[in-house]
Amino acid sequence: MSHVGSIGPSNKTGNVVLSDIFSNSGTATLNGSTGVTVADTGVTSSSVFLILYKTPAGTPSAPYVSTVTASTSFVIKAGASDTSVVNWYRLG
């Protein structure tokens, strides 16, 4: 399988290595008031995130990464009444 461009870790041929993408993933529960800190020692200032709803709850909004602390963690925020469970994937 060949891809145009790079969306994550790749091998020498430029193909995305899916096992690397899925090893950089997890689940977080939004709390409807403050950001949720996710510990991740592999995160960098140039990491890109994909956040998808697993179980919508409360009033789903648009979750996003608000803060990254390289080699330590990142923070996911959403709307004030969003208590959904989200899956996150870190690319790079």
Digitized pLDDT (tens) for each residue of the chain, 92 residues in all: 444 444 445 455 556 555 565 679 999 999 988 999 999 999 999 999 999 999 999 999 999 999 999 999 999 999 999 999 999 999 88
pTM value > 0.75? yes
Strands annotated E in 1-92: 25-29, 36-39, 48-55, 64-69, 73-77, 85-91
State how far the Cα of 45 lies from the Cα of 59, in Å rounded to an integer.
30
| Pair 34, 27: CB distance under 8 Å | no
